[in-house]
Amino acid sequence: METINSKLINWASILDDKTREQALATARLPFIYPHLALMPDAHLGKGATVGSVIPTLGAIIPAAVGVDIGCGMIAVRTQYALKDLPQDRKRLREDIERVIPLSAGHNNRTVLATAQPRIAELRKLAAKAGFDPGHYVAKWDLQLGSLGSGNHFIEVCVDETDAVWLFLHSGSRGIGNKIAQHHINVARRLAAAKGTVLPDPDLASLDEGTAEFTHYIKELRWAQRFALLNREEMMDRVITQFGRWVGGPVRERERINCHHNFTQQETHYGKSVWVSRKGAIKAEAGDPGLIPGSMGTASYVVEGLGNPVSLNSSPHGAGREYSRNAARRTFSLAELKQAMHGIEFRVTEAFIDEIPAAYKPIDQVMHDAADLVTVRHRLRQIINVKGD
């Protein structure tokens, strides 16, 4: 842990100058209390740094929550061991790719029976919140149960005991992005109208007690619920395909589902604050959590230590060292194939920007997080599914 100043505490041993300056700019905002906590996976983000925990008094910065509201992880530990699995791993990968829409803009053709009660819940929640999700995306209901692209993934993993885990990462898809972008723009317009000078326009905030703040919180909470249910829906489909592949039903030994782009009210250092975790998970003492590495590297099942200086938080992944464009210029498909040796995945140049070398080493991130979480399991991938 490094105290950069009284308003910025840093856990990242790998931290570039631009990311440090971005975090410093956010930490200088007058309503930050008690300080901004920078996680080990911190890297440059939109407005606010990805991998930061941002506590605010009486205001929220929509861009500090992130554009993929409620993005997070879900993992299920099955009763199966590595020795129980068929050899044809490609078949399971293709079966998962068949039942879950992958890539940006790809959605379900119809609302499946498994998704119907979840959609019904979301419709009721939206009505209670007083807004129509269709105002943002006409067919938002067809997005539930779809993965997206970028660093989102579905994996079959095994832990140190060879127990098999099913693991995936996704969020609120296009509907969450549209909601986030709308409120980021509202905050920017309000700041401009008041003549507020900001180091970055995307650090514009909404003041608690205003209509704009209330609308944002209602729609944000809805999007956070959408993201959680989206992961649940996909995991249920993965479990079905895995059971067919392995030749028997899946008995869940454990299920963990956690956000890493969200905000909620918490009490820290004697005051009630809005804690926005942008690329960070809640890690109160005993909280279960998931910290994935990059494509082809280890992931971790963890338990929070409740570190008060970190505002009870921990990293959410490895954190990028290369931008997507820089990664595509730097690395090759041959290098990606080498990094993914022994893992079943769809071989395509579209995934070059997800190569492990484009990210911080996950083991260094976990070393930096030693006073934030304890490791319960270390997972290694055997099957990887991604969207282009």
Domain boundaries defined on the chain: 2-385
Q: How far apart are the C-alpha atoms of 143 and 118, rounded to whole Å?
A: 12
- Rama region for 209: left / alpha / beta (φ>0; ψ in -120 to 50; rest): left
Q: Tens digits of per-residue pLDDT, 241-273?
A: 999 999 999 999 999 999 999 999 999 999 999
Residue 388 has a pLDDT of 87
Say whether pLDDT at 339 is over 90: yes
Q: What is the mean pLDDT of residues 194-210?
A: 95
- The β-bridge relationship of strands 163-170 and 153-158 is antiparallel
Token pair 């969020």 in the structure block, residue: 171
CATH of region 2-385: 3.90.1860.10
User: In the sheet that 261-268 helps form, which strands lie side by side, from edge to edge?
Assistant: 2-5, 8-10, 36-43, 50-56, 271-278, 261-268
- Grouping H, G, I as helix, E, B as strand and the rest as coil, residue 151 is coil
Q: Tens digits of per-residue pLDDT, 46-67?
A: 999 999 999 999 999 999 999 9
The DSSP letter of residue 149 is S
- Rama region for 243: left / alpha / beta (φ>0; ψ in -120 to 50; rest): alpha
Per-residue confidence band for 168, with pLDDT thresholds at 50, 70 and 90: very high
Q: How far apart are the C-alpha atoms of 143 and 135, rounded to whole Å?
A: 15
The DSSP letter of residue 51 is E
Say whether pLDDT at 305 is over 90: yes
Residue 192 has a pLDDT of 95
Assess contact for 233 and 47: CB atoms under 8 A.
Answer: no
Assess contact for 74 and 232: CB atoms under 8 A.
Answer: yes
| Positions marked active-site | 316
- Grouping H, G, I as helix, E, B as strand and the rest as coil, residue 166 is strand
Residue 104 has a pLDDT of 87
Q: What separation in angstroms does the CA of 258 have from each of 5, 107, 127, 129?
A: 30, 23, 25, 23
Confidence (pTM): 0.95
Token pair 């509907």 in the structure block, residue: 175
Residue 105 has a pLDDT of 85
Q: Phi then psi for 241, rounded to 5 degrees?
A: -65, -40
The DSSP letter of residue 297 is S
Burial 243-270 (b: 16+ CB within 10 A, else e): eebbeeebeeeeebbbbbbbbeeeebee
The DSSP annotation for 52-97 comes to EEEEESSEE-HHHH-SSTT-EEEEEEEEEEGGGS-S-HHHHHHHHH
Q: What is the mean pLDDT of residues 151-159?
A: 97
| Mean of all residue pLDDT scores within the chain | 96
Q: Tens digits of per-residue pLDDT, 77-104?
A: 999 999 999 999 999 999 999 999 998 8
Q: Which residues contact 76 (CB under 8 A, 6 or more apart)?
A: 165, 166, 167, 235, 239, 250, 252, 254, 255
- The β-bridge relationship of strands 8-10 and 36-43 is parallel
Q: What separation in angstroms does the CA of 220 have from each of 63, 138, 324?
A: 12, 18, 27
Nearest to 3 by CA among 31, 32, 38: 38
Q: How far apart are the C-alpha atoms of 143 and 166, rounded to whole Å?
A: 21
Say whether pLDDT at 276 is over 90: yes
Residue 225 has a pLDDT of 98
Q: What is the mean pLDDT of residues 336-350?
A: 96
Q: How far apart are the C-alpha atoms of 256 and 167, rounded to whole Å?
A: 9
Nearest to 216 by CA among 267, 181, 248, 247: 181
Residue 328 has a pLDDT of 96
